[in-house]
Amino acid sequence: MDFASILSNAFGELISPTTAAYALAALGLAVHFGYSGLLNFGQAGFMAVGAYGFAISTLTFKAPFFLALLIAVVAAAVFALILGIPTLRLRADYLAIVTIAAAEIVRYLVTTNGWTAVTGSANGLAAFEGGFFAMNPFPPGTYPMGMNNRDVFIRVVGWSLVIVAGLLVWLLMRSPWGRVLKGIREDENAVRSLGKNVYAYKMQALIIGGVLGALAGMIFTLPRGAIQPANYGTELTFFLWTCLLLGGMATVLGPVIGAMIFWVVLSLTQGILSGLIESGIITWLSTVQAGQLRFILVGVALMLLMIFRPQGVFGNKKELAFA
Amino acid sequence: MGAIFASVVAILLVVAPASQATSPSPTPSPSSTSSNFSISGFLRNAGAPLPDVKISVSGEGFEGSTTSNANGSWNIGVPKSGTYQVELDESTLPEGVALAEGQENPRQLAFGQTSNQTTIFAFGAGIVVQQGNFAQDLTNRLVAGLSFGLLLALAAVGLSLIFGTTGLTNFAHGEMVTLGAVLVFAFNAMGLPFWLTLILALVGGGLVGYVQDAGLWRPLRRRGTGLVPMMIVSIGLALAARYVILFYFGGATEQLPGAQSAEIQLGPISVSPNNLWSLIICAVVIVTVGLVLMKTRLGKATRAVADNPALAAASGIDVDGVIRIVWIVGGVLASLGGILWAYYRPGVSFNMGSQILLLIFAGVTLGGLGTVFGALIGSIVVGIFTELTTVFGAPADLKYVIPLGVMILVLLIRPQGILGRRERVG
């Protein structure tokens, strides 16, 4: 077994753009659930709206990069509005069911054959990242860890975005606005009796978290240069929840560290398992099954976390969105 | 006729829109290839074979193409089992011939246990409108929708009972549905007689319900875990269970015995015997559950616990006992629903339950969370909506979208659902 390559792969996951995308999306979930108590199970839908909003405006409408970015962000905000209007007045579990249904609707809509010309149906879209990489300030060449200049650029942009978003969320949550939001999480009726418009606050939180999800969707697709609708299923949302709960839901650092732990552990288990299989120590598993075993572990980890340490690694038990 | 032939095979082999064709499916004649694995099919438009159409196959490190021969059949040998992408070059089709609506091109094809995979590209104006008889189409779809709705209701009633008595929104219910079908397949593969496999699968479903409650949910209730954490635990359980099933069952779609049957004509309605059986079984089971709930002491106790657990306990009802029975019944019903769903699709796959989980939720929410008869009515509405959308011209690959959209709309207008009470919604 080549421990050096397993470790360097795992370290690579620590700063990979996918991890940055997960961190950003999980930060959005932290705004939704950790700070406001909104059960959003449709974060994959927000990511899909962001990714497709960006790709379609680039490919179909030939929009320049920043316009496409703006369109994607506005699309996510509109999606949040459409979701929020019917559901934010309802009980929490209704919001969960409606958001997961809405995310699936988005996935079905971009998969349908009727709009292949625009969405590429099941094959998805590709070759929309040109505008982004045209702005690459890093000269071509070799960089540490075998990266090229594109790899460096997307990592720098992705993690800068995570830092900026984290700062923004941190500042927002210690502002008066954030205190009202936390108040809503603790006792909605108490805040309402103070004359605050609870519905409007919840809607604003839903939009902010959703926009973070849309940005995550873009960071997720840009390095791949391709979008496939199958990537935006409900399991993506569940993985994001696992990241959020790993780190701690009502913290800024929690979702980021959670995403890092999630991907490093996935990479380590995959590396070690396939190493053991190749060297013949484990014979009762195939490499494919080893991949499946990891996701069984994710499910079990999610259950155990929720039962035994619902506040996550960094969280404060007093700040749980539920009693 | 060819379009009808093609569409029958399309349903059986590809997950394609249902049709009401009445003919058995012909098998394409095998042609000689050197490799062990092959992908084949035949191309016919309105009965006439389509020669010289280019088909290309790629995947598993292999790429190749062929053209259809004079009787429209084609065959490509591939090096090994796996998943391949098959693409029909539409520019090589003769003038005036196009793929039918909803025909995936290119499409993914996965090998199961067999060494030959067949895929059919249907041509013509579209499968949905092929008969042109709107009224007959409508009645056939209504029957199919009713059958689908009732099998959804089996799972939905269990989910709703569990929600009503414990407050848990159980995201792992889809995996209980999958389990029923997978158990039948597994026991059948062991060579047990079919009736025994059914009984064992139902017992297995009940057992899983019991074990789940005793090993996980009751301890959590004892700890006083909140409803939202329990819901997230159920998501973790669903994820773990789905991949455990994938681990042992594999990613392929398998067929249960007797999954393919010719449709029979009942007066103006043509329906497959499987769908008819499914309808009868569901109706009997649901009426039984309804009678037990309304007429027996146990049913009364269940309704009391659903209404107010604390008060029920105070009046001497064994709340934990009732919840245990609800979990067992929920497991059995989900298992039965899964078996029927495997015949309805048709096919058994590791994610078949999670595919309809949201439709089950839609049924439960439409009817009103926690009301058993609401779940029944909501599920039938969802089933009929799902099947009828294709009659009214919606693309077949969007047929699950419309009921989900309807659910969101209903929540906008009547958040408590059709039969729910207003105060249940916060």
Do B291 and B244 fall within a single domain?
A: yes
The whole-number average pLDDT for the span B123-130 is 50
Do B146 and B230 fall within a single domain?
A: yes
**Distance between CA atoms of A1 and A271, rounded to whole angstroms?**
9
pLDDT at B249 over 70: yes
Give tens-digit pLDDT for B162-197: 998 998 989 999 999 999 999 999 999 999 999 999
Higher pLDDT, B75 or B343: B343
pLDDT at B77 over 60: yes
B225/A307 Cβ within 8 A: yes
Do B146 and B99 fall within a single domain?
A: no
Give tens-digit pLDDT for B130-145: 445 778 778 888 888 9
Do B113 and B140 fall within a single domain?
A: no
**pLDDT for the residue B424:** 44
**pLDDT for the residue B57:** 83
Amino acid in position A25: A
The answer to whether residue B129 is domain-embedded is no
pLDDT at B34 over 50: no
Biggest CA–CA distance in chain A, Å, is 67
Place of tokens 């999610």: A302
Do B108 and B139 fall within a single domain?
A: no
A295 → closest Cβ in B239, B369, B425: B239
The answer to whether residue B83 is domain-embedded is no
Do B108 and B149 fall within a single domain?
A: no
Number of folded domains that form chain B = 2
B329 neighbors B209 (Cβ within 8 angstroms): yes
Which CATH topology does A3-319 take?
ABC transporter involved in vitamin B12 uptake, BtuC (1.10.3470)
Q: How many CB atoms lie within 10 A of CB B326?
A: 23
A108/B397 Cβ within 8 A: yes
- In this prediction, what percent of chain B has a pLDDT beyond 70? 85
Determine which helix (DSSP H) or strand (DSSP E) holds B62, and give its type and residue range.
strand B62-67
Do B234 and B149 fall within a single domain?
A: yes
**pLDDT for the residue B308:** 86
B243 → closest Cβ in A94, A296, A304: A296
A23 neighbors A243 (Cβ within 8 angstroms): yes
CB contact, 8 Å: B92 with chain A? no
**pLDDT for the residue B12:** 39
For A283, residues 6+ apart whose C-beta sits below 8 A from its C-beta are A277
Do B341 and B416 fall within a single domain?
A: yes
B243/A299 Cβ within 8 A: yes
The domain in which residue B225 lies consists of 134-424
**Distance between CA atoms of A29 and A20, rounded to whole angstroms?**
14
Indicate the SS3 state at residue B266. strand
The answer to whether residue B81 is domain-embedded is no
**pLDDT for the residue A112:** 86
**Distance between CA atoms of A38 and A188, rounded to whole angstroms?**
12
For A297, residues 6+ apart whose C-beta sits below 8 A from its C-beta are A269
| Residue ranges, chain A, pLDDT below 50 | 323
**Distance between CA atoms of B399 and A232, rounded to whole angstroms?**
19
- Per the DSSP assignment, residues forming a β-bridge with B38 are B77, B116
**Where on the phi/psi map is residue A11: left (φ > 0), alpha (ψ -120 to 50), or beta?**
alpha
The answer to whether residue B126 is domain-embedded is no
Domain coordinates of chain A in residue numbers?
Answer: 3-319
In the DSSP assignment, the letter for residue B398 is: G
**pLDDT for the residue B372:** 80
B415 neighbors B425 (Cβ within 8 angstroms): yes
CB-CB neighbors (< 8 A) of A91 in chain B? 425-426
- Per the DSSP assignment, residues forming a β-bridge with B99 are B123
Residue B87: burial class (beta carbons within 10 Å; 0-12, 13-18, 19+): middle
Place of tokens 């029909």: B88
**pLDDT for the residue A88:** 83
pLDDT band at B101 (very low <50, low <70, confident <90, very high): low
A86/B169 Cβ within 8 A: no
B426/A104 Cβ within 8 A: no
**pLDDT for the residue B15:** 35
Do B13 and B148 fall within a single domain?
A: no
Amino acid in position A297: L
CB contact, 8 Å: B98 with chain A? no
The whole-number average pLDDT for the span B79-91 is 77
B227/A93 Cβ within 8 A: yes
CB-CB neighbors (< 8 A) of A241 in chain B? 232, 235
**pLDDT for the residue B109:** 76
* Exposure class string for B330-368: b at 16+ Cβ within 10 A, else e: bbbbbbbbbbbbbbbbbbbbbbbbbbbbbbbbbbbbbbb
Give tens-digit pLDDT for B293-326: 999 999 999 989 988 888 999 999 999 999 999 9
Higher pLDDT, A4 or B72: A4
B235/A302 Cβ within 8 A: yes
pLDDT at B8 over 60: no
The whole-number average pLDDT for the span B118-122 is 75
Written as six digits, the tokens of A15 are 């700063």
- DSSP assignment of B302-330: HHHHHH-HHHHHHTT--HHHHHHHHHHHH
Q: Cα distance from B229 to chain A (closest Cα, Å)?
A: 6
The answer to whether residue B352 is domain-embedded is yes
Task: Report CA-CA distances (Å) from B203 to A284, B150, B152, B159.
Answer: 29, 21, 20, 18
pLDDT at B242 over 60: yes
Q: Cα distance from A123 to chain B (closest Cα, Å)?
A: 9
Residue B88 φ then ψ, to 5°: -100, 125
Do B16 and B151 fall within a single domain?
A: no
**pLDDT for the residue B7:** 44
**pLDDT for the residue B283:** 92
Strand order across the B73-78 sheet: B73-78, B37-42, B116-118
**pLDDT for the residue B72:** 76
| CB half-sphere exposure, A241, CA atoms < 13 A | 32
A302 → closest Cβ in B239, B241, B408: B239
pLDDT at B3 over 60: no
End-to-end alpha-carbon separation of chain A, Å?
46
A104 → closest Cβ in B226, B247, B404: B404
- DSSP assignment of B104-121: -SSEEEE--SSSEEE---
B392 neighbors B280 (Cβ within 8 angstroms): no
**pLDDT for the residue B124:** 62
pLDDT band at B374 (very low <50, low <70, confident <90, very high): confident
Q: Cα distance from A138 to chain B (closest Cα, Å)?
A: 34
Written as six digits, the tokens of A80 are 């949040």
CATH number at residue B282: 1.10.3470
- Per the DSSP assignment, residues forming a β-bridge with B132 are none
**pLDDT for the residue B406:** 85
The whole-number average pLDDT for the span B9-18 is 38
CB contact, 8 Å: B190 with chain A? no
B239 neighbors A294 (Cβ within 8 angstroms): no
B236/A109 Cβ within 8 A: no
**Distance between CA atoms of B275 and B290, rounded to whole angstroms?**
22
**pLDDT for the residue B389:** 83
Continuous H helices in chain A: 3-14, 17-29, 43-59, 65-87, 92-111, 116-119, 130-133, 149-173, 176-186, 188-193, 198-221, 234-247, 253-278, 287-308
Do B105 and B212 fall within a single domain?
A: no
Angle in degrees, CA B45, B138, B388, rounded to 5: 90
Do B186 and B114 fall within a single domain?
A: no
For B320, residues 6+ apart whose C-beta sits below 8 A from its C-beta are B218
The answer to whether residue B76 is domain-embedded is no
Length of chain A (residues): 323
B408/A86 Cβ within 8 A: yes
| Stretch among A6-15, B80-89, B384-393 having the lowest mean pLDDT | B80-89
